Structure 1
């Protein structure tokens, strides 16, 4: 990554495969707006020189910048989620730096593209910790990528701020969950699906056909949803898990068409969920079945387009369209920074909350050392764009709102994030089920 030999240097440093780019693929070496400038009396080259000018580096020290390594899926099958993932954390750190940083120190963010590949996640996690000497790691997207990063942060004794909606913590997935070093900012099935099971079965029927991608999140999510469904007297009439990267869903759709399902419950992800929805619509199955997905946030829905999305039910803790004053301000900042057509989703909001809560915890405890950050985050309350939030101390899981939405027939413009979802109902605060972990949580095996 090259440096301009000038007397000013931006604190925001972004690494992507040897070249910095924005999330639309255009070359750049820094973000241009609202970044704090650091005056330097001499020309310098590279990140090492920057650390020297500031009198220190990260790694829990008390001088120089606080460093955060952000692991985002900026290429590959989950690129659809990567923009908001990265944007949320960028905006949070903009605001933190504008308000004095962390304990008087600026925050420097190092972004790495995980390429939607667990092996690359492991490599990038090792890189930001061992080479870039970060104080904390934020991001990864899927459960598989989180599980790839977790052994690294465990070995290196660094906190991981995980933003994504996921299956819930289970000791079987340790060290990807049930780990004192992991903090979960995303919604889980007991918050995302369970609150709406009675509504969906009462309104649309109790026979479910489950279709998911073949990895941890869909399988464990469906396991929990099936338990909720059985309590309501419902049935699973079909359950299939599809390899990531599938483009032809013809045989699956034929089995759905011939089933007694009332609701097709989707846990497909990435480009697969887009392809499935388009083929579901083209076969006219949207006229025969209710489609409820716990994946298709704003960017997946944008990728599907209006025709393939109309009538789809989606449930999350956050939507771009939420009518709160703080969310209006948040969306306004997103669009001011990234363009009037820029959107935001649940993962971006979680990254935004994670950034602010990390900074709040560090400022309260006066340190970015790992054990201090753990103590500072446990039990911490925060007001986010979606409402009131709290990081539960026992299992590091967020207490969050929950919203049930539907894509209305009136939605016709793929860039209209305001009109993409209509809110059917909401619950202001939903406490998740207690994690299936051994307590107290520990580091390492």
Structure 2
């Protein structure tokens, strides 16, 4: 038999324990809900206009990575969701959509895809302690910077060196003419300047250069005529696949016999479709090995072909790899903190890409093999 005072105490204790158990249950439920909240990332690229091939292919590669990670159970049990934004290849628009993502609570962005977008976007990402994973912005000026940018692409100086070597092989490094797109000057300008630096020690120089603005109906014929009138040993076109194809069409009409070189920006199927016979014999740098038989790449290629009905481009490959590096770091660190993820990526440094290992240095930069192809019989064939 309990004393009256003790009976009341027992009743109060039971109520307290019941309330405590209920509170613990609520906390555990809320914790489980928080843990299962999806991981949301942003993807920002040009999805419309003349540079959209980069953005569309990049988006395709990203969605394959997201599908793959979600099918495997997500990141520590959390599914991945993507908010897609079109930067229209305009820096002001790019900054605006980056701000929208930040205001919506998104801390990680995969993108942008063209180097001209970096001037406004990277300072913003830095100021807000976000993290941007860069698939294809390769302007040399973006490298060796302590910022909130992790890249999986080589600097443009690597492409310039390959183009120079090809010119030397063909005896055309002395007098070079360059046509370059001006909106993406951060890319085209650094490739152009890199070529100039490479050929000067060999007694070469850029004897003529002309810029044009993509999407503004440039007079392709007039520009090609001015280039041809300078009698160069080599012609370099630094532009999207569409614009490069249009210039090649005009050189073809002029019966041009001077070797033409393109940078990796032009390296996709649109060049072949738009250029037709006019791009036969053109030499082009490539950021991927189209002939790779590495199992991870062939499996990706077959799945991409089945899903999208086209060959994967370097933009698709690099964006897939960028996403997988981000997801790997998130899983390993079990964190959504951008600084923690950045440090985790840099500390690990070596990642298995679709074709080869990707080595990321202390600045978050990568350097990778550049390949060289020639258009032959309407296809990209590896240069000998």
What TM bracket, shorter-length normalisation? 0.7 to 0.9
Residue in 2 aligned with 1:164?
136
Whole-Å separation in 1 of the counterparts to 2:163 and 2:86: 35
The 5 A counterparts of 1:14-413 are 55-56=33-34, 63-131=36-104, 133-169=105-141, 178-206=145-173, 207-214=175-182, 215-245=185-215, 246-269=217-240, 271-285=242-256, 288-294=257-263, 295-339=265-309, 342-378=310-346, 379-393=348-362, 395-408=363-376, 410-411=377-378
Provide the alpha-carbon RMSD of the alignment: 2.3
Whole-Å separation in 1 of the counterparts to 2:275 and 2:291: 17
The 5 A counterparts of 1:421-436 are 421-424=380-383
Residue 69 of structure 1, CA deviation: 0.4
Whole-Å separation in 1 of the counterparts to 2:329 and 2:180: 37
Whole-Å separation in 2 of the counterparts to 1:331 and 1:353: 13
Whole-Å separation in 2 of the counterparts to 1:300 and 1:335: 16
Q: Which moved more, 1:370-379 or 1:141-150?
A: 141-150
> Do the aligned partners of 1:198 and 1:232 also contact (CA within 8 Å) in 2?
no
Greater helix proportion:
2
Q: What TM-score does the superposition give when structure 1 sets the normalisation length?
A: 0.73
> Do the aligned partners of 2:242 and 2:274 also contact (CA within 8 Å) in 1?
no
Residue 188 of structure 1, CA deviation: 1.9
Residue 300 of structure 1, CA deviation: 3.8
CA offsets 1:200-232 (integer angstroms, 9 cap, x no match):
312241121111011221112211221111123
> Do the aligned partners of 2:245 and 2:279 also contact (CA within 8 Å) in 1?
no
Whole-Å separation in 1 of the counterparts to 2:329 and 2:303: 23
Residue 165 of structure 1, CA deviation: 4.8
Residue in 2 aligned with 1:439?
none
Whole-Å separation in 1 of the counterparts to 2:221 and 2:80: 49
CA offsets 1:245-300 (integer angstroms, 9 cap, x no match):
24312232122212231111121236433322222222222xx2111110211144
Whole-Å separation in 2 of the counterparts to 1:299 and 1:146: 26
Q: Secondary structure at the match of 2:139?
A: coil
Q: Secondary structure at the match of 1:400?
A: coil
Q: What TM-score does the superposition give when structure 2 sets the normalisation length?
A: 0.84
> Do the aligned partners of 1:319 and 1:346 also contact (CA within 8 Å) in 2?
no
Whole-Å separation in 1 of the counterparts to 2:90 and 2:192: 23
Q: Secondary structure at the match of 1:398?
A: coil
Q: Label 1:170 to 1:183 Cα distance change in 2 as closer, same or farther (>3 A).
A: closer
> Do the aligned partners of 1:166 and 1:221 also contact (CA within 8 Å) in 2?
no
Residue in 2 aligned with 1:18?
none
CA offsets 1:87-144 (integer angstroms, 9 cap, x no match):
111111111222232222111111112223222211211112212x223101122122
Residue 369 of structure 1, CA deviation: 0.7
How many positions carry a matched residue from both structures?
349
Unmatched tracts of structure 1, length 5 or more:
1-51, 57-61, 172-176, 412-419, 426-445
